[in-house]
Each structure stands twice: as structure tokens, then as C-alpha cells.
């Protein structure tokens, strides 16, 4: 039974943060970091965290301005300030040691916990959590506008929206929205550098129909099960085409369960390994599928996210309310997006290309949940007048032999590009490319953002 004292405490907590703090921000004394909460809507508090690249690395000329990368995590429900930052691209790794190939050497970095409810971003009432991609993007638009007020450097630093997995869909839709506001003059002091899509959740139908054949071709799916898994993929596609998005998500989840059982638990992030084999890798597709968040959270303990975020970082950032506990994944946020989760964003990518926005797609070779072959399938369908020429071009193999240290006999990646579209195939990488192939990811983002930073 709850004691009156504990009930009073609950009440007190509610009183302490009525509607959350209003927009607040803070920063390190040397100006190299800033963070804060913005309030896009009543009861919604979004946390952002900005890092400025250190001197003497940060060189900027009018011809080659220093870029800013805004990183959007997948899930929906994964936290950028935690996973993107400490697991993938931030200045410190999961042991709080310097990361050699941090993207901060190439760009200022911004991590935003989105949608609200994720990481340290919180809603004062559950009713304020988002139920659609558009709502999530509208909150992100407010965050970007707040960032323009908070970060003077943004005026002269082109902004690149980088989205991994489900974050890719947010990046695309956010870019469409930003371009509109920039065009009509609502936003006058931002240069949208481009959009970068990492193993992005852009066309679920094109992914679901490939799972069976891909896993069969690499000897990872029981050959007796191929037909069944294939049929389920076709059903996913049909349901999406019929606009039955929640039903499609259910079929897709069932399909993943069948794959799990008929492959003896292949890791959907990387077909070379099993579920749970690599605690870092095991989580990406689980975040995306919401299938076993408890397992995902357990694996996160392996690199001690809980200690980092709820002890070290919470203390450091000071303005996080006591009652807010950082979780690696928020299942509720995932579930509330069920009517939009399977909606594609291929049309929007085509719009961006037609508007001249730079679009870079990068793709881990070993990913299953977002398979390279499925990504190629939606790229082929892009309504953009450069697509035919793009598809006709050869791929350029990358050995990185412009770098004395990283020159390799072995091909590290392929790139194909034409006009404002570039596609990178990153070899030996699964769903989270910067985790598996940090140097190739570093080189990819250097080129995608035209960073004047040094790459070796
Ligand atoms: C951009 O414009 C807004 C609105 O006029 C202003 O509040 C903000 O300070 C400007 N930001 C930058 C980075 O110049
Ligand atoms: C999730 O994973 C945990 C740990 O492996 C397991 O105990 C639990 O039964 C799983 N839950 C579901 C719903 O599969
Ligand atoms: C770098 O980007 C340009 C422009 O998209 C492209 O033509 C080129 O192939 C890329 N090169 C590498 C090595 O990534």
C-alpha cells in the first residue's frame, strides 16, 4: 500500500515540474557545448545537446564552411543523446574515452532526443506523446528554430540532417518542412546542407519482400521456410499498398518472429551473427521492431548506458528533472506511432532531390532489417529526373588510399553519385554503420558534408 508520504512525494514531483521548465539552456564554460530544453508544445520538453568542434580542427572558409550534423536516432524510441552520441559518433565512447573517428572532427554535432518521451525528452502528460510522423516532425521543426536562436554558429554552418533507421524517415520529412520554411522566408538564416540516410526506414514494403531471399542466399534461413517468409513479405507489401499500416506492422512483426525461429535467431542487424551475440549490435533492429525491448535494454547494460546517462550525464547537464529517467528505448513511443510506422517516405526523398537538396544514402552490407537490396529497390523508384543516369553509372570502389594509414588492398566501400544523390555501400557493416566501420563512416560523412576537416 502506498504511504501518505510517498503519495505526497508524487504530488510534489508533479508540482515541481508543472508543464516542465520553460525553454532553458546551459553550457560548458569554454563554450564548446550547449544543451537545453525547448517546448514546441504545451507539456512537451525536448532535449538537445550541441558540441562545437575543437580548435585547431575547426577550420572554416566562406567557400568551405564548417558543417553541423544533426543526428536523429531510430526506433522510434531510441535516444540520440545516448546511443548516437556514446555508441556511434560523439566525442566520447561508451567508456567515456575519446573516440578516434568521432564526427566532431568533421562537423559540429547536435543530438536531439526525439520524439518526445525518448531519452531525456519528456512529456508532462502521456497525452502529449506523438501519434504521427508529422507531429514528431512538427516538434523537431520547433527544435531547429530554437537552435537557431541558441546557436549563433548555425547561421554560417550548413545543417545536415542525418537519420539512422527510423530516424531517416524523420530526417527526410524534417528536410521537406525546412525547405518549405526557407523558401517562403519563415526561416531566413539557415542553410540546409543536405540529408544523410543511414540504413534508413524509407520503404518498409521493399524491405519485407527481400528478407526471405536475402537470408536464403546467405544460407541463414531454413530452406523449407523461404516460401512462407516470402509470402508474409508480400502480404506486408499488399497491406501497405492498401493503406492498412497498423495491420502491415503486425504482419511484419509476425514475419520477424518466423525468421527468428527458422533462422535460429539470426541477428537482424547483421546476418553474420546471431541475436545477442554482440551486445552492441543486437539492439538496433530490436529498437526498430520493438520486439524485445527488455532484451535490448539488458544488452545496453553491457556498455553501462544506465550509469552513463542517469548518473554521469544527468549530473553534468544539471537541468534534467530528477524524475526523468533515461531509457535506451521507449516502447510506448514506438507503439503510439503504429499507424505511421509502415508508411514510406520515398515520395519525399524524390521531392528533396527535385528541389536540389543533397541526399546521401549509406547502407551497411550485412544489414537484414533494412537490407541494401531493398534500399536499392526504392532508390530505383525515385521520381527524379536524374535517376536514370544515376542508375546507369558504375560504382566507384573505395580503398581510402589517399590516407597513408588507412589505405587498404581490400575494398571498404562503394560509392555511386550523380548530381545531388550519392549512395554508399559500406562493406562489412550491419545496421549501425559507424559502430561497425567507423573509418568508412567517417570518410562517408566527410564527403557528404563537404567538410574542410582532415580525414586521416
Ligand atoms: C535566425 O533568425 C532568428 C529569427 O529572426 C533569430 O532569432 C536567430 O537569432 C537567428 N539565428 C542565427 C543563428 O542567426
Ligand atoms: C525478451 O528477452 C528476455 C531476455 O532474453 C526474455 O526473458 C523475455 O522472455 C523476452 N520477452 C519476449 C516478449 O520475447
Ligand atoms: C564525394 O562526393 C562527390 C559528390 O557527391 C562524389 O562525386 C564523389 O564520388 C564522392 N567521393 C567519395 C570518395 O566518397
Mean pLDDT, rounded, for 9-26 = 47
Mean pLDDT, rounded, for 229-250 = 98
Q: What is the pLDDT of residue 13?
A: 31
364: enclosing H helix or E strand: strand 359-364
Would you say residue 4 has pLDDT above 50? no
Choosing from 189, 190, 191, 192 the residue with most ligand 1 atoms within 8 A of its CB, the one to mutate for a pocket test is: 189
Question: Ligand 1 centre from 144 Cα, in Å?
Answer: 11
The number of the ligand 3 atom at minimal distance from the alpha carbon of 447 is 1
Q: What is the pLDDT of residue 329?
A: 83
| Cβ–Cβ < 8 Å for 346, 382 | yes
The number of the ligand 3 atom at minimal distance from the alpha carbon of 396 is 9
To 5 degrees, how large is the angle CA 19–CA 20–CA 25? Answer: 140
Residue of minimum CA distance from atom 6 in ligand 1: 149
Separation of alpha carbons 399 and 412, rounded Å: 6
Cα-based distances in Å from 194 to 197, 273, 355, 364: 10, 33, 11, 20
Per DSSP, the three-state class of 271 is strand
Own/partner pairs, 395-398, CB within 8 angstroms, 24+ separation: 395/425, 398/440, 398/443
What DSSP designation does 31 have? S
Catalytic residues: 165, 367, 431
**Binding site membership of 294 for ligand 2 (Cβ less than 6 Å):** yes
Question: Ligand 2 centre from 300 Cα, in Å?
Answer: 14
Q: How confident is the model at residue 289 (pLDDT cuts 50, 70, 90)?
A: low
Query: How many other C-beta atoms lie within 10 A of the C-beta of residue 291?
Result: 18
Higher pLDDT, 5 or 254: 254
Residue of minimum CA distance from atom 14 in ligand 2: 292
Residue 121 backbone phi and psi in degrees, to 5: -80, 135
Separation of alpha carbons 186 and 206, rounded Å: 36
In this structure, which ligand is nearest to the CA of 159?
A: 1
In the chain the domains, ranked by start, together with CATH numbers, are: 16-203+342-448 (3.40.50.1820)
The grid cell for 88 is 556511434
The number of the ligand 2 atom at minimal distance from the alpha carbon of 276 is 5
Q: What is the pLDDT of residue 374?
A: 98
Would you say residue 40 has pLDDT above 80? yes
Would you say residue 141 has pLDDT above 90? yes
The grid cell for 256 is 520477424
pLDDT tens track for 369-420? 999 999 999 999 999 999 999 999 999 999 999 888 888 889 999 999 999 9
In this structure, which ligand is nearest to the CA of 447?
A: 3
Q: Which residue has the cell 497491406?
A: 239
Would you say residue 6 has pLDDT above 90? no
**Binding site membership of 408 for ligand 2 (Cβ less than 6 Å):** no
Question: Ligand 3 centre from 417 Cα, in Å?
Answer: 6
Question: Ligand 2 centre from 296 Cα, in Å?
Answer: 9
Strand 192-198 versus strand 159-164 pairing type: parallel
235: Cβ–Cβ under 8 A, 6 or more apart, which residues?
251
Would you say residue 434 has pLDDT above 60? yes
Q: What is the pLDDT of residue 284?
A: 57
| Lowest mean pLDDT segment, chosen from 69-73, 240-244, 291-295 | 291-295
pTM of the model: 0.91
| Lowest mean pLDDT segment, chosen from 152-166, 304-318, 439-453 | 304-318
pLDDT tens track for 158-188? 999 999 999 999 999 999 999 999 999 999 9
Mean pLDDT, rounded, for 422-429 = 97
Percent of the chain at pLDDT > 90 equals 81
Beta pairing partners, 123: 44
Q: Within its chain, how far is the Cα of 401 from the centroid?
A: 29
Residue of minimum CA distance from atom 12 in ligand 2: 292
**Binding site membership of 247 for ligand 1 (Cβ less than 6 Å):** no
Q: What is the pLDDT of residue 15?
A: 29
| Cβ–Cβ < 8 Å for 390, 350 | no
Residue 185 backbone phi and psi in degrees, to 5: 85, 0
Separation of alpha carbons 258 and 54, rounded Å: 48
**Binding site membership of 149 for ligand 1 (Cβ less than 6 Å):** yes
Mean pLDDT, rounded, for 307-322 = 93
In this structure, which ligand is nearest to the CA of 416?
A: 3
Amino acid at each position: 500500500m502506498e504511504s501518505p508520504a510517498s503519495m505526497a512525494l508524487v504530488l510534489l514531483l508533479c508540482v515541481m515540474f508543472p508543464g516542465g521548465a520553460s525553454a532553458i539552456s546551459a553550457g560548458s564554460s569554454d563554450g564548446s557545448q550547449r544543451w537545453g530544453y525547448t517546448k514546441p508544445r504545451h507539456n512537451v520538453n525536448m532535449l538537445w545537446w550541441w558540441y562545437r568542434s575543437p580548435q585547431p580542427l575547426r577550420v572554416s572558409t566562406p567557400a568551405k564552411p564548417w558543417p553541423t550534423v544533426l543526428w536523429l536516432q531510430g526506433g522510434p524510441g531510441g535516444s540520440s543523446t545516448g546511443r548516437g552520441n556514446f555508441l556511434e559518433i560523439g566525442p566520447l565512447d561508451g567508456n567515456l574515452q575519446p573516440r578516434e573517428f568521432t564526427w566532431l572532427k568533421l562537423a559540429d554535432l547536435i543530438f536531439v532526443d526525439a520524439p518526445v518521451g525518448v531519452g531525456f525528452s519528456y512529456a508532462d502528460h502521456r497525452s502529449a506523446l506523438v501519434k504521427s510522423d508529422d507531429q514528431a516532425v512538427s516538434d523537431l521543426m520547433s527544435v531547429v528554430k530554437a537552435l537557431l536562436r541558441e546557436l549563433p554558429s548555425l547561421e554560417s554552418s550548413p545543417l545536415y540532417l542525418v537519420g539512422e533507421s527510423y530516424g531517416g524517415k524523420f530526417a527526410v520529412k524534417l528536410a521537406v518542412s525546412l525547405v518549405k520554411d526557407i523558401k517562403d522566408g519563415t526561416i531566413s538564416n539557415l542553410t540546409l546542407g543536405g540529408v544523410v540516410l543511414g540504413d534508413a526506414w524509407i520503404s518498409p514494403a521493399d524491405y519485407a519482400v527481400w528478407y526471405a531471399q536475402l537470408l536464403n542466399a546467405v544460407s541463414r534461413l531454413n530452406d523449407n521456410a523461404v516460401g512462407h517468409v516470402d509470402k508474409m513479405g508480400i502480404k506486408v507489401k499488399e497491406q501497405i499498398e492498401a493503406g492498412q499500416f497498423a495491420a502491415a506492422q503486425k504482419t511484419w512483426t509476425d514475419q520477424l518472429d518466423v525468421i527468428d525461429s527458422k533462422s535460429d535467431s539470426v541477428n537482424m542487424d547483421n546476418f553474420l551473427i546471431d541475436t545477442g551475440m554482440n551486445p552492441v549490435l543486437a539492439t538496433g533492429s530490436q529498437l526498430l521492431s520493438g520486439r524485445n525491448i527488455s532484451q535490448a535494454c539488458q544488452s545496453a547494460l553491457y556498455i553501462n548506458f544506465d550509469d552513463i546517462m542517469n548518473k554521469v550525464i544527468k549530473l553534468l547537464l544539471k537541468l534534467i528533472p530528477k524524475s526523468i529517467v533515461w531509457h535506451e528505448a521507449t516502447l510506448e513511443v514506438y507503439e503510439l506511432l503504429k499507424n505511421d510506422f509502415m508508411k514510406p517516405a520515398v515520395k519525399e526523398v524524390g521531392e528533396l532531390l527535385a528541389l536540389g537538396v543533397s541526399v546521401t544514402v549509406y547502407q551497411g552490407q550485412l544489414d537484414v532489417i533494412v537490407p541494401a537490396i531493398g534500399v536499392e529497390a526504392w532508390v530505383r523508384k525515385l521520381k527524379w529526373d536524374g535517376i536514370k543516369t544515376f542508375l546507369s553509372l558504375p560504382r566507384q570502389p573505395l580503398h581510402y588510399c589517399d590516407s597513408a594509414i588507412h589505405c587498404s588492398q581490400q575494398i571498404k566501400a562503394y560509392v555511386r553519385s550523380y548530381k545531388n544523390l550519392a549512395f554508399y555501400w559500406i562493406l562489412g557493416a550491419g545496421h549501425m554503420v559507424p559502430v561497425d566501420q567507423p573509418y568508412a563512416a567517417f570518410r562517408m560523412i566527410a564527403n557528404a558534408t563537404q567538410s574542410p576537416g582532415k580525414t586521416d
